[in-house]
Structure 1
Amino acid sequence: MQNYENFLFDLYGTLVDIRTNEDSQKLWETMRLLYGYEGAIYTTKELQEKYHQFVSEEKANVRKRNRDREFIDINLGKVFKKLFKYKNVNRVSETKIKNLAATFRSISTDMIQVYDGVYELLDFLKENDKKVILLSNAQSLFTLNEIKMFGLDKYFDDIFISSEYEVSKPDKEFFMIPIKKYNLDPQKTVMIGNDFISDMQGAVKANLHGIYIHQEISTPVDDEEKIVADYKIMDGNVKKIIEFLKG
């Protein structure tokens, strides 16, 4: 078996296939109603425009706080709150924000499913006493629900989501968070992901091994030689990871 003890996984495009559309009319009409129910009155167009404005402003704020980080992320919960505050609705519970985010995500998601072979792979790793960690560029308000929905949470020894740390892959600093927390040996740690930039180039920056799996939603690759990884799977077959690990 390959000499890896610690496995860092990307989520979307690696373990979970997803298609979203955050520009749909139905999404913003529904969100307008939900905000209106709480006294924050918007037109559909105004709500969508303010959402994008506040996202841009939050990104600028995060960059000011983290000038040394090349790749940042924001917490959309702050944007959802700001949309209430803009309409002078200031007392909004965290539960309300979580429910609002869940509605936003469910309506904007056209398709979501676990890739074939994922459960077999994760079972194989846990049966062999490997440390399994999620390292995802994502929004915790969305992702934690989806991990639980598919029963993936039981496989992870820990979960690191970019929106909680204001840093994202391929920034080396994001990779170093779990490495430092668990004192992981880089020579025995592998990143498994579907993005040759965020996942594989990020792993190289952190001196980690890499396993690349190309999926339909992966960043297009015009030259396979650009992908730096111990092993490359170009047909999206997750089960090939198990075959490779068994060596």
Structure 2
Amino acid sequence: MLAYKNYIFDFYGTLVHIETDEESLDFWRTIAELYSSLGATYEASELRKAYIRLVADEEANLAQPSQLDYVEIDILQVFKRLYTECPNRDKLSWKLDLETASRLIAAAFRIESRKELRAYDATVQLLDYLKSQGDKIFLLSNAQKAFTLQELKQTGLYDYFDKIYISSDYGMKKPRPQFWEMVLTENKLNLSESVMIGNDFTTDIAIADSLGMDSIFINSFNYNEKELKEKNTSKVPVVEDIGGVMEVVTCMR
């Protein structure tokens, strides 16, 4: 069996475990207090509704010109609009650096909503091994750069990747084939020497399958045997965790 030379990983649920909660009213009270400190007045429930509305509006604005599915907004635009379109916007008197402020709000938003973040036990071991073999490692993640870049660094994984592709940077996300084709083209990757590793059949596995590339599915959602049979229509290898990928990779050498 031929070993792969290029490994393309999803991030959340594949290399790291994360838990977030953006539903708690206490969470929205904290974010409302942050906006209030900048002069924008919101009630917690009002802010939550405005956030959801503006996310949907940004998605519609991005999809409308191209009529394409699987668009990815830049969440920083939402945080900016929450300030400029706040209920008391006519009374705002501060001259705010919106770019800097939106990044600070994004950081606070993520820290306050995040309950847990950690790399899986075998993640570093696997990435160390691939690097020692001279393999190329890429990240292809449906995510927000404003959140994910810091979390890559926080988990100690940032420096392992030859290149990082985060969907909010490109306005599109998996499983749109163009997102994956960009990775192939920019890095001159051979399909037969490449593999996609992820935990979502409808994005990670689907995008690889659409291009005729191998993939490995990580069952981090703990699907049972019946569910896996229904979802795994491409019959790709299934492992229970990132340690299972390590076993597959080393057996191919």
Q: Is contact 2:80–2:99 with CA below 8 Å preserved after alignment?
A: no
Distance 1:174 1:108, change over 3 A: same
| Structure-1 residue corresponding to 2:71 | 72
| Structure-1 residue corresponding to 2:237 | 231
TM-score, normalization: structure 1? 0.92
TM-score, normalization: structure 2? 0.90
Structure 1 counterpart of 2:148, which letter? T
**For 1:96, what is the secondary structure of its paired residue?**
helix
| Structure-2 residue corresponding to 1:136 | 141
Q: CA deviation at 1:110?
A: 1.5
- Aligned-partner Cα distance in 2 for 1:135–1:219: 26
- Aligned-partner Cα distance in 2 for 1:135–1:66: 22
Mark the runs of 5 or more structure 2 residues left unpaired by the alignment: none
Instruction: Give the fraction of aligned pairs with identical amino acids, expressed as a percent.
Output: 36
Alignment of 1:161-176 (within 5 A): 161-176=166-181
Q: Name the larger-Rg structure.
A: 2
Alignment of 1:1-247 (within 5 A): 2-67=2-67, 69-87=68-86, 88=89, 91-216=96-221, 222-224=227-229, 226-227=231-232, 228=234, 230-233=236-239, 235-236=240-241, 238-247=242-251
> What are the superposed Cα offsets for residues 84-138 of structure 1, whole Å, 9 maximum, x if unpaired?
1113357334222111111111111121111110000000110011110100001
Mark the runs of 5 or more structure 1 residues left unpaired by the alignment: none
Q: Which consecutive aligned stretches of 4+ in structure 1 deviate over 4 angstroms post-superposition?
A: 217-221
Distance 1:44 1:207, change over 3 A: same
Q: CA RMSD in A?
A: 2.0
**For 2:35, what is the secondary structure of its paired residue?**
helix
Distance 1:5 1:57, change over 3 A: same
Structure 2 counterpart of 1:243, which letter? E
Distance 1:156 1:75, change over 3 A: same
Q: CA deviation at 1:54?
A: 0.5
Q: CA deviation at 1:40?
A: 0.8
- Aligned-partner Cα distance in 1 for 2:4–2:106: 37
> What are the superposed Cα offsets for residues 217-236 of structure 1, whole Å, 9 maximum, x if unpaired?
77997143642254211x32
**For 2:140, what is the secondary structure of its paired residue?**
strand
**For 2:71, what is the secondary structure of its paired residue?**
coil
